[in-house]
């Protein structure tokens, strides 16, 4: 009879499109042992659960669940940024956000909720009703002013939908991200991107705010050694000017 742990292991192995042999080779164990774990004929040790989860890139919250399913104690906590242990993280986030001025930067969680933002991001997003505690992607659905400000909306939406699908797959499915991804299609007016020839190196988000035009590209930073659940899901989106005119405008707005 298949155990709960065995069922979860098989689910995540299939989610990552790996055969039992693929996982065995990657984890340096026998395929027979993987089979016995999935069918419940063998019970895993704590180190084996964590080792297999690492090879399958299982999210930390799910690793706790799989440890519990194997009759073992959880390994990961989910601390808030207000926790004393997180002071170095708060300091690092503040340092990155502040020094990215006059370019916009925001810290976001798993569901793109804005955890913190710098002065430049507040200038850009605040006028469109976005701020701390709001989901940056949900706001794109709910805020007509934000939709109207993005002049290449269908292009941005299509790339964002692809990113959300990828992120949801990483978590083994995420109802919140899946719902947002479906709703995004409606605001693009059903327009399909006509891709032909050589694609550009990147897709900027182009904003028109009054007489001002900004073209921004984004990069995301994460804490590479995070073992906390919430910290592992935290990202910092740093926006950069995609052209010289935008760079000059942001410098002027920031007093540079």
| Same domain, residue pair 128 and 215 | yes
- Is residue 185 packed enough to be buried (19+ CB in 10 Å), middle (13-18) or exposed (0-12)? middle
Q: What is the pLDDT of residue 101?
A: 97
Instruction: Say yes or no: 134 and 180 in one domain.
Output: yes
Same structural domain, 97 and 204 = yes
CA distance 175 to 178: 5
- Does residue 77 lie within any of the structural domains? no
Each residue's pLDDT tens digit, 100-142: 999 999 999 999 999 999 999 999 998 888 999 999 999 999 9
Is residue 76 assigned to a domain?
Answer: no
Instruction: Please name every residue paired with 214 in a beta bridge, in sequence order, or none if there are none.
Output: 207
User: How many separate domains does the chain show?
Assistant: 2
- Among 69, 95, 117, which residue terminates a domain? 69
Give the whole-angstrom CA distance, residue 66 versus residue 9.
8
Residues 143 and 238 reside in one and the same domain = yes
160 in the same domain as 124: yes
Q: Which of 185, 123, 179, 128 is nearest to 153 (CA)?
A: 185
Please check whether residue 75 lies inside any domain of the structure.
no
Q: Tell me the CATH number at 12.
A: 1.10.260.40
Name the burial class of residue 98, with classes exposed (0-12), middle (13-18) and buried (19+) by CB atoms within 10 angstroms of its CB: exposed
State whether 55 and 112 are in the same domain: no
pLDDT score of 65: 97
Query: Within a domain: residue 176?
Result: yes
Q: Say if 177 falls within a structural domain.
A: yes
Separation CA 203–CA 156 (nearest Å): 7
pLDDT of 224 reads: 86
Boundary (domain end) residue, out of 69, 99, 119: 69
| Cβ neighbours of 95 (radius 10 Å) | 10
**Residues 99 and 16 occupy one common structural domain:** no
164 and 235 assigned to the same domain: yes
Residues 194, 169 share a domain:
yes
One domain for residues 48 and 92:
no
Full domain range(s) for residue 60: 4-69
Give the CATH number, domain containing residue 237.
3.30.450
The strand order across the sheet containing 205-209 reads: 114-117, 105-108, 235-241, 212-222, 205-209
Last residue of a domain, one of 40, 69, 98: 69
The answer to whether residue 140 sits within a structural domain is yes
Indicate whether 207 belongs to any domain. Answer: yes
- Co-location of 114 and 55 in the same domain: no
Q: Are residues 103 and 128 in the same domain?
A: yes
Residues (pLDDT < 50) of the chain are none
Residue bearing tokens 């707005």: 253
């Amino acid at each position: 009879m298949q155990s709960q742990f065995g069922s979860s292991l098989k689910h995540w192995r299939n989610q990552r499109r790996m055969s039992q042999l693929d996982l065995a080779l990657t984890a340096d164990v026998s395929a027979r042992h993987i089979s016995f774990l999935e069918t419940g004929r063998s019970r895993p040790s704590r180190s084996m659960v964590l080792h297999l989860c690492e090879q399958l890139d299982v999210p930390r919250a799910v690793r706790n669940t799989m440890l519990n399913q194997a009759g073992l104690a959880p390994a990961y906590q989910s601390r808030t940024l207000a926790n004393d242990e997180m002071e170095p993280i708060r300091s690092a986030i503040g340092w990155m956000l502040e020094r990215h001025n006059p370019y916009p930067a925001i810290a976001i969680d798993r569901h793109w909720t804005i955890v913190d933002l710098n002065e430049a991001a507040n200038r850009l997003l605040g006028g469109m009703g976005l701020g701390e505690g709001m989901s940056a992607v949900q706001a794109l659905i709910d805020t007509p002013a934000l939709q109207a400000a993005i002049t290449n909306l269908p292009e941005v939406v299509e790339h964002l939908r692809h990113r959300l699908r990828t992120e949801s797959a990483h978590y083994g499915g995420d109802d919140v991200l899946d719902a947002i991804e479906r709703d995004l299609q409606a605001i693009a007016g059903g327009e399909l991107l006509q891709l032909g020839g050589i694609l550009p190196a990147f897709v900027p988000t182009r904003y028109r705010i009054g007489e001002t035009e900004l073209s921004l590209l984004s990069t995301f930073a994460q804490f590479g050694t995070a073992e906390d659940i919430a910290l592992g899901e935290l990202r910092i989106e740093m926006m950069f000017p995609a052209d010289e005119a935008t760079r000059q405008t942001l410098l002027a707005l920031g007093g540079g």
